[in-house]
């Protein structure tokens, strides 16, 4: 298993009023292995989209590095990035906002093919038809406009655009958040089918742990611009090590499977997510953490390996203690 993408200490700050900085992403390091799905979860505003854009260099980093297929792409110029673009694609949360209302679905899917010189008009037409088949859209709808499609179908158009040029990596930024629950499962299944068929690697962003659980091999949990825990999906759910992961998980409704396994104790987080302009000292989570101690207020915990996972906490929950409650 080889590393496809590797991010080291990625920082992205935006300028805010009064000369201050919005610390959207604050030193994220992670690796994405070829063929896997890495889920990225966290509350709204914690920097998921900004991180996703940094990973595919749709935005410049404030500092840190991103390597794609072993190549440092952190500071590549637009011109040098261009040949790499087809291999790294982003699927947006709101496909409607990313589609031109005056262009047909067929045109929208053809656009990346034209931009990257895929072939002549006939070759592009064939490829677009093939892509419609792949994402489960009817060829009869090639000439329809975005508003004539349902939300789920529009996301299929977005996915067809993203896979048009045979990418290696697809960063999907909350691709089902805007869809009805009944449609979400269909689109998630499409992602899974395409991964198998095309050998894709996904970074799958969501604010909802319920959604990422089913699609992810590993999950990275973000809080205020930092990754606080990374673990195999099943292990993360079975025994979260970071108090924030535990709180997030306790908010996910569980179905009683009749096994007699005690339900997770519900942890209610008090207080709002602090602003990324005014990050707390020490551990960013300390004002809301039920396990906070004096050290947490002064020293920022680094992401370190604990029991087969990575966790950024001075006092991680020992695996198993949750189930024993
Ligand atoms: N272009 C921008 N300019 C200024 N602030 C931004 C910009 N993009 C995002 N932010 C801020 O950065 C933080 C992280 O945003 P975002 O990455 O969109 O989080 P998420 O996707 O997890 O909701 C938020 O506080 C947001 O307001
Ligand atoms: S370092 Fe301290 S405040 Fe932060 S999550 Fe761990 S126990 Fe809570
Ligand atoms: Mg977002």
| Alpha carbon distances (Å) from 295 to 231, 286, 299, 314 | 25, 10, 6, 8
* E strands, the chain, in order: 3-15, 21-33, 37-41, 63-68, 71-72, 88-91, 169-173, 201-206, 218-223, 226-232, 304-306, 309-311
Q: Which fold, 34-61+75-216? A: Rossmann fold (3.40.50)
The predicted pLDDT at position 278 comes to 83
For ligand 2, say whether the CB of 243 is within 6 Å of any of its atoms.
Answer: yes
Pocket test for ligand 1, best of 19, 25, 40, 45 (most atoms within 8 A of CB): 45
| Ligand 1 atom at minimal distance to the Cα of residue 205 | 21
**pLDDT for res 95:** 75
Residue 286 Cβ inside 6 Å of ligand 2? The answer reads: yes
Q: Hey, where are the domains in the chain?
A: 34-61+75-216
Pocket of ligand 1 contains residue 23 by CB under 6 Å: no
Q: What is the pLDDT of residue 308?
A: 85
Radius of gyration of the chain measured on its C-alpha atoms = 21
| Nearest ligand to the C-alpha atom of residue 50 | 1
- Closest ligand to residue 287's CA: 2
pLDDT at 319: 55
DSSP string, 36-85: -EEEEE--TTSSHHHHHHHHTTSS--SEEEEEETTEE-TT--HHHHGGGG
Atom of ligand 2 nearest to the CA of 289: 8
Q: Report the distance separating Cα 224 and Cα 174, nearest Å.
A: 17
User: Which regions of the chain are under pLDDT 70?
Assistant: 252-266, 319-325
The pLDDT, as a whole number, for residue 310 is: 96
In the reported structure, the alpha carbon of residue 55 is separated from the centroid of ligand 3 by a whole-number distance in angstroms of 14
The pTM of the full predicted model, rounded to 2 decimals, is: 0.93
What is the distance between the alpha carbons of residues 97 and 173, in angstroms, rounded to a whole number?
Answer: 13
In whole angstroms, give the CA distance from residue 230 to residue 72.
23
Please provide residue 15's backbone torsions phi and psi, each rounded to the nearest 5 degrees.
-75, 130
Taking the C-alpha atoms of residue 54 and residue 305, their distance in angstroms, rounded to an integer, is 24
Residue 313 beta carbon below 6 angstroms from any ligand 2 atom: yes
Q: Residue 149 phi/psi, 5° resolution?
A: -105, 155
């Amino acid at each position: 298993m080889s590393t496809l993408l590797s991010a080291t200490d990625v920082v992205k700050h935006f300028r805010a009023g009064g000369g201050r900085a919005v610390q959207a992403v604050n030193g994220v390091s992670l690796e994405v292995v070829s063929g896997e799905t890495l889920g990225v979860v966290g509350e709204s505003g914690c920097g998921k989209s900004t991180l996703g854009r940094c990973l595919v260099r749709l935005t410049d980093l404030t500092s840190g590095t991103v390597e794609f297929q072993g190549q440092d792409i952190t500071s590549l110029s637009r011109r040098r990035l261009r040949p790499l673009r087809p291999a790294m694609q982003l699927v947006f949360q709101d496909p409607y906002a990313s589609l031109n209302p005056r262009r047909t679905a067929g045109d929208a899917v053809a656009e990346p093919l034209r931009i990257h010189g895929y072939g002549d008009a006939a070759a592009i037409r064939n490829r677009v038809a093939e892509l419609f088949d792949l994402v489960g859209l009817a060829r009869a709808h090639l000439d329809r406009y975005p508003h004539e499609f349902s939300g789920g179908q529009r996301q299929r158009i977005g996915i067809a655009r993203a896979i048009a040029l045979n990418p290696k990596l697809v960063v999907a930024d909350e691709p089902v958040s805007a869809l009805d629950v009944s449609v979400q499962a269909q689109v998630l299944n499409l992602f899974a089918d395409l991964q198998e068929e095309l050998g894709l690697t996904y970074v799958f962003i969501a604010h909802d742990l319920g959604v990422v659980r089913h699609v992810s091999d590993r999950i990275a949990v973000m809080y205020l611009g930092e990754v606080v825990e990374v673990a195999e999906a099943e292990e993360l759910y079975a025994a979260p090590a970071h108090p924030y992961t535990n709180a997030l998980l306790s908010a996910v409704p569980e179905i009683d499977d009749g096994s007699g396994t005690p339900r997770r104790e519900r942890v209610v987080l008090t207080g709002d997510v602090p602003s990324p302009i005014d990050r707390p000292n020490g551990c960013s989570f300390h004002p809301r953490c039920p396990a906070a101690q004096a050290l947490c207020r002064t020293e920022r915990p680094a992401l370190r390996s604990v029991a087969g996972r990575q966790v950024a906490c001075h006092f991680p929950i020992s695996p198993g203690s949750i189930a024993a409650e």
